[in-house]
């Protein structure tokens, strides 16, 4: 039942209606077949043929149309049972003598007139033909619906695969390693296409920009918004290296081209080798964490700004964080913090900090992968309810 529900939920209303018509004809065959199988010489009356044929088809078609609406489905079944009960009573009192049946019994011999023989042959042939026509029509319609659904699913899967490839292209192909820092990240989508993305952009030999963005929702729509955000950021970087200007202009772009209920939280971190500093902006995004080697404390950095796409005239300012050798920065999306176990306990910031302190640090790549794996272990199901991303930057100079 669960798999049928899933299939029907994925079908368009028009396709479900077409499927219900096919089911109507397939199960309408119950009417003539029931009368043909009765132990009588003459088949049942025409009125019973019509009622059995139509009600069998309607009942089955109604189940298809209402299978995802439990209350209406139960009401439909109750109404059908009530109708069957009422029909039996009506037939008993009004149509008992409508068409007399001549039953074959073991201890009684009788003769059929020519007219009765003709009626028997004609009726059985007509009943059989009606059953064949209903069965053939239902089967043809069913094959057509299934064929159209397979075609639609194949096209949808091809489009989804293409969208996954596009979303995959948003992420860096490999960690970045330089003489003065090492950067790696992991992004796990909740659906096939995620709304999270991260990027590592080498602006110059001495400057690297880290980006973590989280588009509202998840799935194809969020993936498109994430791609739009990356495209806008790259476009702005061609004109300026000032990350406040980049964030301000990207916000205007997203505000102007998206619906008002769509937004993007974002964190930008500009690492500078010469000043050994990190210029930080967060727009509605979780805190950026810094841990210093052999220090039991983890610091949090965040700028109080609206997410991108919320207000058209938002402006953004940076905080500057001085770095030193051994510092490690962690940029995350809220899907990591919101990951929950079967008891509905969220992983949360405090658990993340404890995990960071307990994680070995041979490389940024190892740390990002290890942290994601530990959060997955916490959820037990190994799945995230929301897209989850972490970027780790380790200062080695």
190-206 tens-digit pLDDT: 776 778 989 999 999 89
For residue 385, pLDDT beyond 90: no
For residue 276, pLDDT beyond 70: yes
Task: Give the pLDDT mean for 136-160.
Answer: 81
Instruction: Confirm if 305 and 314 have CB atoms less than 8 A apart.
Output: yes
Average pLDDT over all residues of the chain = 84
The pLDDT assigned to 70 comes to 84
Going by C-alpha positions, the residue among 29, 9, 11, 31 that lies closest to residue 139 is 29
- Distance, in Å, from the CA atom of 129 to the CA atom of 32, rounded to the nearest integer, reads 9
Range from 78-87, 162-171, 290-299, 358-367 carrying the lowest mean pLDDT: 162-171
Task: Give the pLDDT mean for 248-276.
Answer: 93
Return the structure tokens found at 128. Answer: 């059989």
Cα→Cα distances 250→1, 219, 314, Å: 47, 22, 10
In the chain, which ranges are E strands?
A: 176-177, 181-188, 196-202, 207-215, 264-272, 277-283, 288-291, 298-301, 319-322, 328-332, 388-395
Helices (H) and strands (E) in the chain — how many of each?
11, 11
The pLDDT assigned to 108 comes to 44
Residue 236: count of CB within 10 angstroms of its CB: 19
Residues 6+ apart with CB under 8 A from 271: 181, 207, 208, 209, 210, 277, 278, 323, 393
For residue 339, pLDDT beyond 50: yes
- 167 compared with 302, residue with greater pLDDT: 302
For residue 214, pLDDT beyond 80: yes
Name the DSSP class of 45: P
For residue 327, pLDDT beyond 60: yes
> Using 50, 70 and 90 to split pLDDT, how confident is the model at 126?
confident
**HSE, side-chain direction, 13 A CA sphere, residue 46:** 4
* Percentage of the chain exceeding pLDDT 90: 41
Task: Give the pLDDT mean for 300-327.
Answer: 94
> Using 50, 70 and 90 to split pLDDT, how confident is the model at 254?
very high
The pLDDT assigned to 111 comes to 61
Query: Which range, 165-174, 278-287, 361-370, is most confident?
Result: 278-287
Sequence ranges of the domains in the chain: 2-165, 170-395
Per-residue exposure over 11-31, b if at least 16 CB sit within 10 Å of its own CB, e if not: beeebbebbbbbbbbbbbbbb
> Using 50, 70 and 90 to split pLDDT, how confident is the model at 263?
very high
Cα→Cα distances 375→230, 347, 361, 382, Å: 26, 7, 17, 8
Element (H, E) at 91: helix 70-94
Residue 329: count of CB within 10 angstroms of its CB: 25
- Distance, in Å, from the CA atom of 188 to the CA atom of 288, rounded to the nearest integer, reads 19
Tens-digit pLDDT profile for residues 130-145: 898 999 998 898 888 8
User: Can you name the CATH fold of 170-395?
Assistant: Phosphatase 2c; domain 1 (3.60.40)
The pLDDT assigned to 174 comes to 86
Cα→Cα distances 61→34, 50, 77, 180, Å: 19, 16, 12, 69
- Distance, in Å, from the CA atom of 334 to the CA atom of 135, rounded to the nearest integer, reads 55
The pLDDT assigned to 159 comes to 61
The pLDDT assigned to 304 comes to 93
Coil, strand, or helix at residue 342? coil
The pLDDT assigned to 101 comes to 45
Tens-digit pLDDT profile for residues 17-59: 888 899 999 988 988 888 887 766 556 678 888 888 888 889 8
The pLDDT assigned to 371 comes to 93
The pLDDT assigned to 160 comes to 63
- 84 compared with 160, residue with greater pLDDT: 84
Going by C-alpha positions, the residue among 299, 297, 264, 303 that lies closest to residue 280 is 303
Beta bridge partners of 267: 212, 282
**pTM value?**
0.66
- Distance, in Å, from the CA atom of 42 to the CA atom of 102, rounded to the nearest integer, reads 7
Range from 84-98, 119-133, 314-328 carrying the lowest mean pLDDT: 84-98
Tens-digit pLDDT profile for residues 60-119: 888 888 877 888 888 888 888 888 777 777 666 655 544 444 444 334 445 666 666 666
Cα→Cα distances 160→13, 157, 194, 196, 361, Å: 21, 5, 12, 17, 37
> Using 50, 70 and 90 to split pLDDT, how confident is the model at 2?
very low
For residue 158, pLDDT beyond 70: no
Sheet containing 319-322: give its strands across: 196-202, 207-215, 264-272, 277-283, 319-322
């Amino acid at each position: 039942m669960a798999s049928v529900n899933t299939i029907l939920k994925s079908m368009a209303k028009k396709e479900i209606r077409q499927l219900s018509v096919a089911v109507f004809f397939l199960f309408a065959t119950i009417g003539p077949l029931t009368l043909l199988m009765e132990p009588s010489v003459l088949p049942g009356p025409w009125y019973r043929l019509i009622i059995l044929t139509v009600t069998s088809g309607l009942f089955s078609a109604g189940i298809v149309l209402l299978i995802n609406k439990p209350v209406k489905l139960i009401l439909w079944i109750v109404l059908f049972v009530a109708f069957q009960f009422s029909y039996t009573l009506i037939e008993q009192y009004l149509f008992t003598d409508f068409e007399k049946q001549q039953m074959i019994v073991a201890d009684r011999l009788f003769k059929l007139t020519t007219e009765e023989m003709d009626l028997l042959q004609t009726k059985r042939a007509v009943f059989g033909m009606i059953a064949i026509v209903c069965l053939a029509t239902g089967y043809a319609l069913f094959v057509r619906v299934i064929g159209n659904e397979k075609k639609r699913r194949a096209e949808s899967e091809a489009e989804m695969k293409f969208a996954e490839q596009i979303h995959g292209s948003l992420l860096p192909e490999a960690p970045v390693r330089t003489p003065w820092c090492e950067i790696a990240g992991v992004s796990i989508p909740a659906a096939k296409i995620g709304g999270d993305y991260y990027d590592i952009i080498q602006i110059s030999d001495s400057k690297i920009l880290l980006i973590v963005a989280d588009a509202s929702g998840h799935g194809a729509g969020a993936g498109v918004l994430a791609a739009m955000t990356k495209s806008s950021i790259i476009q702005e970087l061609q004109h300026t290296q000032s990350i406040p200007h980049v964030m301000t202009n990207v916000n205007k772009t997203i505000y102007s081209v998206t619906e008002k209920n769509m937004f993007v939280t974002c964190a930008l971190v500009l690492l500078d080798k010469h000043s050994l500093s990190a210029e930080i902006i967060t727009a509605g995004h979780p805190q950026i964490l810094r841990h210093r080697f052999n220090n039991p404390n983890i610091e949090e950095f965040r700028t109080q700004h609206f997410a991108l796409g919320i207000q058209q005239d938002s402006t953004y300012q940076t905080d500057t964080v001085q770095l030193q050798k051994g510092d490690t920065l962690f940029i995350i999306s809220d899907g990591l913090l919101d990951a929950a176990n079967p008891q509905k306990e969220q992983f949360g910031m405090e658990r993340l900090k404890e995990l960071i302190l307990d994680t070995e640090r041979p490389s940024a790549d190892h740390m990002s992968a290890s942290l994601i794996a530990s959060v997955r272990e916490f959820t037990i199901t190994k799945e995230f309810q929301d897209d989850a991303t972490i970027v780790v930057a380790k200062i080695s100079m």
